[in-house]
Amino acid sequence: MKGETLFDMNETLFLDVLKKEMALEPEKLCHHLEAFILDKMEKLDRDGVILGLSGGIDSAVVAALCRRAVGAERTVALLMPEKDSEANHIKDALALAKNLNIEARLIDMTRYLRELDVYDLVPLSKIPFMRRIRGFLNKMGYRIFERRTGETLFSASLAGIRSEKYETILKKRNAYYRIKHRLRMALLYLYGERENRLVVGAANKTEKLIGYFVKHGCDDAADIMPLITLYKTQVRELARYLQIPPHIIAKPPSPDIIPGIDDEDAIGLPYDVLDLILLGFEKEHSVADISGVLKIGTEKVDGVKRLVERSAHMRMIYAPEDL
């Protein structure tokens, strides 16, 4: 029929095709990624590797791959919490490092951030509430902002902030959380260069496509990014193959920089839906078609499209000829 799309003809079949595209051959992929890590370490004349270990799934997978690729004796993990970090994440990171038999170094960033007056930027960070109460207040603030503006705080912060109603709040918030990722990057390179190690990042394809990272932060600036071609749901599949502890795989993903806020709060969608939307765009299908197949509102799919477009500047360096 004229005007009929592939989705109209067989929505169920096409959804199966999208999910099949996400499927991996974990063993083959692991061998490929391990060879990639080892090859880059040797070609760049490094004596070992170093990575940030947060207690989350992405860095856990990278740690396991590094250990398999270059050996436990040449793998170092930096754990870099600060006063807003969840204690359980550090506990998980330490336990994983012990299980992998890799060296773990704990560096508390709180004093560095205090010296930079970072905690003065956000009043809630100075209030001596329990972390759970601060988390509740932060989550409530995110929801109020979304109701009043029609977009998430994350989306509103992807481009510059000028003449916005919430300009002061947004600028301080951005400075508050972004310096944490940039300080982690600086620490990784400090120890990496001091010990001639390859800095290994843990960013994935989903984060890169929607701008869910800090430019020049630890999820952007690294020597290599083994997971950068994998969607978040694919990283989960790889984690299961690598026998990452189930509770790390199951825990809600979080940047662990603002109490109470996890990835779904910030982005507004669960990763299993977000990844299928992004894959739909990658296959050049329309907003209407993707919305129809996934049975979600077009405004949600449009929102993801805006994230990709707004964050485009984060994935490039502008040169004079581009002006």
pLDDT in tens, 248-291: 999 988 888 888 788 988 898 999 999 999 999 998 889 998 99
| 86 assigned to some structural domain | yes
User: Closest by alpha carbon to 223, among 30, 90, 66, 22?
Assistant: 66
Residue 70 located in a structural domain: yes
319 lies in some domain: no
Q: Which residues of the chain have pLDDT under 50?
A: 1-4, 6-7, 9
Tokens for 25? Answer: 């051959």
Candidates 312, 315, 300; CA nearest to 151 is: 300
* Residue numbers of the domain that contains 220: 6-311
**β partners of residue 103:** 76
Give residue 2's pLDDT: 40
Q: Is residue 72 part of a domain?
A: yes
| Residues 21-50: b if buried by 16+ CB within 10 A, e if exposed | eeeeeeeebbeebbeebbebbeeeebebbb
pLDDT for position 302: 96
What confidence score (pLDDT) does residue 11 get?
A: 62
Q: Is residue 184 part of a domain?
A: yes
Identify the pLDDT of residue 126: 62
pLDDT, tens digit (0-9, with 9 covering 90-100), for 51-81? 999 999 999 999 999 999 999 999 999 999 9
- 241 contacts 48 by C-beta, under 8 angstroms: no
Do the Cβ atoms of 84 and 257 come closer than 8 Å? Answer: yes
d(CA 308, CA 101): 39
Token reading at 112: 């560095």
pLDDT of residue 4: 43
- pLDDT number for residue 144: 85
Beta bridge partners of 48: 197
The pLDDT, as a whole number, for residue 131 is 66
In a domain, 161, yes or no: yes
Q: How many domains does the chain have?
A: 1
Which pair of tokens denotes residue 280? Answer: 């739909």
Q: Report which DSSP code applies to 224.
A: B
Domain at 200, CATH number: 3.40.50.620
> What does the pLDDT read at residue 323?
54
